[in-house]
Structure 1
Amino acid sequence: MQEKKFVRYKKLLVEEAKGVKGMQFFDVVVITASDEQQAKIYEEQLLWRKQLKTIPSRPSYHVLHDPPGVKIGNGGATFVALDFLRHKYPTQFDGLRILLIHAGGYSQRTPQHSVCGKIFAALPAGPFKGCSMLEMCFAMLCDIPAKSPPGVMLKCGDDIIIFDSDLCSFDKPGFTALAHRSTVDIAYTHGVFCLEASEESGGQEQGAARCRRFTHKPSLERMRKYGALMNNELEAYTDSTFFFDMPMAMRLLTWWDEREQQVSCEVDAYGDLLQALGPEADDEYIGKGCDLLSETRRSLFQALHGMELNVCKVDNSRFWHIGTIPEMLDHFCGSTSFLVEASGGSIRQEGFALEIGAHGLGYYTKSLTSCTICSRTHESAAIGTRSVVEFCTLGDVRIGRDCLLSCVTLKDGMVVPDGIFLQTVSIMLDGRTSFVTQVMRTSDDVKQSGTLDKMSWLGMSMKQACSVLGLDEETLHALKGEAGKFWEARLYPVAESREQSVSL
């Protein structure tokens, strides 16, 4: 499947370079960012990739950041994007084919993507050498605009899906979502579609099926209650990308206008929009509270209740989430089928053994390997299995297994133990370029919070680490003795060079 998509995508770029109006692509591409600074970085990335001709230059690109203040989530960002576009293209809006990619956030579970965002994360496989998630996204969706009416295709920036577009139809009114046949373990952390009884047996019928209801991150009991389970309760249909047409976009904007074009809480584009749809949708997910989120959900439910939700079942699809360090190490180093299937055939199956999982999908297994992306390494450097090295310059060094190194420079003789995350970031300090190197375990919870004796870092409590490293506990967190966040801890010194930064 992916090899055909790569061919189509490259054909699109060649036709554009020749000035030939050939394949249809999205008219507008919108990428959302968390704030103005992140938006500027995204705009620079887009400009660079257009110059490299790895993305089409014909679409209008817009990077939109969230308004300052309270977090509004990808649902709130969807409304901001729609509002911007209807004013930007007042006479064209209802005829546009729009790709909306939610890429805001600071990628705390993959800190190497915090600066440039997950959507620009480098991949070891794809339509081009050194391609990013963005090029992969464009390649896998490049044939959708010709199959869909004007509307919005919405996706998140941290997943890769490979599916047969010929099985998809977006001509039914309202919302149409891709539905992937997945294990129950995956369903716990995704949205789940509850299909009509005649549709739940699976199959590869072309077109869209009718969905009774959608439930977000459900428990096993809830999936049983709603009749979402299949294959002896081993499987369910889960979400990824969805489409809505322009009449639905206008319906959403009507709600937005009634709210005076603002929300004051985090709205989820999946949980808070899709759960209101389908003939069996109810307001159980809203809760009985009077808080802002419950009130916003209730208002959205009233605006969308009664609208249908259609799904395109893509049973033989592949879905990869690149949202955590362990996931990245698995996918990039051969413990999943990612390298074979996402390469479009350029990485062969030799040495891989095909195994069929409980849900019928094929997985390739082989001895784990390491992965080096856009890096210069000494011929004698040793990199351990299940370790990823990206944008690094390595001398004659030894890197342990289960490591992730990003943008670091290591001199001859340096050793990195097993399970270490190491990243060097350039910063502006007092008008000068300086460097900071972040070090932690690849298993450390970057989102943890609490007092210093409750948070762990490098296998010990942060309180112990302060004692070992001679760090001042009072300056580690601005809150001093109170609960703080690992992400905001002042752990790392500033240096004048990359090499010095690693050595401090």
Structure 2
Amino acid sequence: MASLENSTGTAAAEGVDELSNVLRDVHVQNLAAYSRLLEEESRTTTTENGPVTTADKELPFWDIVVVTAGDKQQKHCYRRRIDQKLAERSIPSRARYLVIEDPPNSKIGSGGSTCLVMKILQENFPTDFLLQARTLLIHAGGYSTRLPHVSARGKVFTTLPQANKPEGIQVLDLKLVLYLHLLKSMPPGVFLTSADGIELFSSSSPFPKDPKPFTITALAHPSSKQIGSTHGVYLLQDPEGLIPADRARKPKDQVALLLKCRKFLHKPSLDEMRRTPKLIYSNSLASGEEEEEVYTDSCYYFDPHTAALMAHVYPGLSTECDLEAWADILSFQDSSSPNHEAGSNGQEFNQHPLKQALHDANVQLDVMVLNASKFYHLGTMQEFIAATCSDRAFMSELNIRNINPGVAIIRPSLSTAGQQQDQDRGAPQWQPESPLFIENCRIPPTAQIGAGSILVDTDLPDTEGEEGVLIPDDACMFTLQLQEHAFVTFTFSINDDMKRAVSATASSEINDDTSLVLLERLKVFGTVPILAMLKNSDQQHQHKHRPPTSQIQACGNNLSLWTAPVFEIASTAHESTCFALDRLARVRQFQSGGQGREKQSVVPQLTTNILGWVSLKDAARIAREL
């Protein structure tokens, strides 16, 4: 029987190797240390100056934690969530938490944002403090269009399931856990990471205690060539053959290797990697086959002097510089011939102030090679559901346990009154071993959930008959509250490209006819026209249930699933869910070729009017303000 709980049992051994066990043990130790930090926060003494928490010097923690935001609105949203965590004592209060947003109407990118953060830190803290402080910088700005179910709350507040916590763990909290063992040897400076990357290191990965001033120390992980083609790759100086020797050791015996970087290649092609000597390393598998790997980027550290240099550079950057914190900053040694995408589109001159300053200051790029490490990217719906539901190594390493294999469930929301009745009637149906992510949802026993689906903040209606609501395979379904009495439930495929735009004509003028063309050309679930997804959208009833032309006009001649105002706003969450289920029924009808008469919807008939139409882009913005 399916159960809406996470298990505390032992993870299946399949897919979990010796390295996974090492990384899991380190993470368990970090979780225990983090729990001690939080317990310490609860032990306070009262003085004439108020309550004081006694800090345990044996438990190092960050002095400053910075989360970046895309704009002022996102900053306020992040700030509220962080303040709530502090009030609940669910994150350590000994750190200073800052949320820093990009300037309005700018496009400075994560690299420009890094420089801005350094400038603001200089303006808000004494120099002596910054020279001794350890700062965690988490880049989390933007709307998360490729992970739409967190577009309102932001990637840094994405929730992952946990074995012993029904509410799961959010990425911000996880980031505070992941690097605790590194803090034991990390010198003052800034540690930079992204909100959609999960990095795991063994405990034998210390930082150099006294790094030279003007040094960037980047962490490198062994990755397949395919992964290397979508990330940054390091070409390393290893005259003594330290890397092959360390690769031959068992994971528990592997150590951190601090090497010089000869060159940083951003998203190199497979051919470029093959042509570059000493870039690829071979690995003999148990099957006898040879595996080829490269060393890819993730997070990196830089010392206080480099931080001050970045702060000094910021005023000279263009508001449209669109610098990337990895591609541009880590490639500063080769400023004459940038090999990243931005350098080829005419914006090269905007990037030179920072790269030139790093080059002129003789900043050194060191690479800490961590063979006993892993990097996971959770930036897309496919990556997210694969990691949390199917990747047994990831699940073992990150303390994820599911009673039902493949089904990750966070905060089940069965009503107390109806829970026993639901249990008596059975359990929701899903395919065995199918990946399925459910967060804060009520799933009635009559529901049938397709494989590969993501359901968040949605209560599916129960039905009287035997046939219940049906969620198709690979669906992403989530509800946002816009006002006290305004809700919208979105439906996509996890394989949809949210930003792929369609256009109607060469003209920028849009009328009723061109809006229909746009709605016909814009596809959801891969091949289904938006027009077919809308209720009564046939020629006879085409004006009865679709957004007004004026709203389509506001999008210009380019329409995408991110900007299209094709989702109904309802006065209750239940009604918005029913609208969404109607859309999914029409998607299924189109996919089946529209053969025969469509089955009558199992969703209760709606008697209220639509309050309006909204796009995901606008809904995410509005929902942030609640």
Alpha-carbon offset, residue 479 of structure 1: 5.0
Letter in 1 for 2:152: V
Deviations 1:407-459 (A, max 9, x none): 0111113222222111110003xxx4410111122211112112235431133
The CA distance in 1 between the partners of 2:524 and 2:340, in whole Å, is 37
SS of residue paired to 1:488:
coil
Deviations 1:92-137 (A, max 9, x none): 2322211100011111111111111111111112785521111111
Q: Is the 8 A contact 1:421 1:440 kept in 2?
A: yes
Q: Is the 8 A contact 1:321 1:327 kept in 2?
A: yes
* Other-structure match for 1:321: 377
The CA distance in 1 between the partners of 2:154 and 2:232, in whole Å, is 23
Q: Aligned to 1:311, which of 367, 381, 386?
A: 367
Q: Is the 8 A contact 1:66 1:72 kept in 2?
A: yes
Structure 2 unpaired stretches of 5+: 1-25, 44-52, 248-253, 283-289, 415-421, 464-468, 504-517, 580-626
Residues 292, 27 of structure 1: CA spacing in aligned structure 2 closer, same or farther, 3 A cutoff? farther
* Other-structure match for 2:40: 15
* Other-structure match for 1:230: 281
Q: Aligned to 1:448, which of 466, 485, 500?
A: 500
The reply to whether residue 86 of structure 1 matches residue 86 of structure 2 is no
Alpha-carbon offset, residue 71 of structure 1: 1.9
Q: Aligned to 1:403, which of 424, 446, 453?
A: 453
Letter in 2 for 1:138: L
* Other-structure match for 2:71: 35
Q: Aligned to 1:337, which of 378, 389, 393?
A: 393
The CA distance in 2 between the partners of 1:475 and 1:416, in whole Å, is 32
Residues 284, 329 of structure 1: CA spacing in aligned structure 2 closer, same or farther, 3 A cutoff? closer
SS of residue paired to 1:176:
strand
Moved more, 122-131 or 47-56: 122-131
* Other-structure match for 1:361: none
Q: Aligned to 2:259, which of 209, 213, 216?
A: 209
The CA distance in 1 between the partners of 2:550 and 2:450, in whole Å, is 32
Letter in 2 for 1:382: Q
The CA distance in 2 between the partners of 1:107 and 1:421, in whole Å, is 14
1:76-225 paired onto structure 2 within 5 Å: 76-91=112-127, 92-125=129-162, 128-129=165-166, 130-170=168-208, 171-173=210-212, 174-197=215-238, 198-201=241-244, 202-203=246-247, 204-225=254-275
Q: Is the 8 A contact 1:435 1:494 kept in 2?
A: yes
Alpha-carbon offset, residue 88 of structure 1: 0.5
Q: Aligned to 1:416, which of 452, 455, 471?
A: 471
Deviations 1:457-487 (A, max 9, x none): 1331335445457425734523577222320
* Other-structure match for 2:429: 382
Structure 2-normalised TM-score? 0.71
* Other-structure match for 1:242: 300
The CA distance in 2 between the partners of 1:454 and 1:192, in whole Å, is 38
Letter in 1 for 2:150: H
Q: Is the 8 A contact 1:286 1:298 kept in 2?
A: no
1:342-361 paired onto structure 2 within 5 Å: 342-343=398-399, 347=401
The CA distance in 2 between the partners of 1:276 and 1:224, in whole Å, is 23
The CA distance in 2 between the partners of 1:476 and 1:394, in whole Å, is 34
1:424-443 paired onto structure 2 within 5 Å: 424-428=479-483, 432-443=484-495
The CA distance in 1 between the partners of 2:342 and 2:194, in whole Å, is 29
SS of residue paired to 1:166:
coil
Q: Is the 8 A contact 1:400 1:419 kept in 2?
A: yes
The CA distance in 1 between the partners of 2:206 and 2:499, in whole Å, is 38
Q: Aligned to 1:60, which of 96, 104, 107?
A: 96
Seq. identity, %: 29
Q: Is the 8 A contact 1:168 1:208 kept in 2?
A: no
CA RMSD of aligned residues (A): 2.6
Moved more, 180-189 or 7-16: 7-16
The reply to whether residue 462 of structure 1 matches residue 530 of structure 2 is yes
SS of residue paired to 2:350:
helix
1:266-281 paired onto structure 2 within 5 Å: 266-277=322-333
Q: Is the 8 A contact 1:209 1:313 kept in 2?
A: yes
Letter in 2 for 1:56: P
Residues 292, 263 of structure 1: CA spacing in aligned structure 2 closer, same or farther, 3 A cutoff? farther
Q: Is the 8 A contact 1:182 1:235 kept in 2?
A: yes
* Matched length: 478
Q: Aligned to 2:546, which of 456, 467, 471?
A: 471
Residues 94, 109 of structure 1: CA spacing in aligned structure 2 closer, same or farther, 3 A cutoff? same
Residues 6, 434 of structure 1: CA spacing in aligned structure 2 closer, same or farther, 3 A cutoff? same
Q: Is the 8 A contact 2:257 2:370 kept in 1?
A: no
Alpha-carbon offset, residue 70 of structure 1: 2.4
The CA distance in 2 between the partners of 1:447 and 1:386, in whole Å, is 25
The CA distance in 2 between the partners of 1:10 and 1:252, in whole Å, is 35
Structure 1-normalised TM-score? 0.88
The CA distance in 2 between the partners of 1:178 and 1:111, in whole Å, is 29
Q: Aligned to 1:301, which of 345, 355, 368?
A: 355
Letter in 1 for 2:437: V
Residues 480, 303 of structure 1: CA spacing in aligned structure 2 closer, same or farther, 3 A cutoff? closer
The CA distance in 1 between the partners of 2:405 and 2:460, in whole Å, is 24
Instruction: Kindly name which structure, 1 or 2, has the bigger radius of gyration based on alpha carbons.
Output: 2
Letter in 2 for 1:496: S
Residues 89, 502 of structure 1: CA spacing in aligned structure 2 closer, same or farther, 3 A cutoff? same
Q: Is the 8 A contact 2:132 2:188 kept in 1?
A: yes
The CA distance in 2 between the partners of 1:403 and 1:442, in whole Å, is 7
Alpha-carbon offset, residue 315 of structure 1: 1.2
Q: Is the 8 A contact 2:64 2:97 kept in 1?
A: yes
Letter in 2 for 1:169: F
* Other-structure match for 2:30: 5
Alpha-carbon offset, residue 199 of structure 1: 4.6
The CA distance in 1 between the partners of 2:355 and 2:72, in whole Å, is 31
The CA distance in 2 between the partners of 1:34 and 1:289, in whole Å, is 23
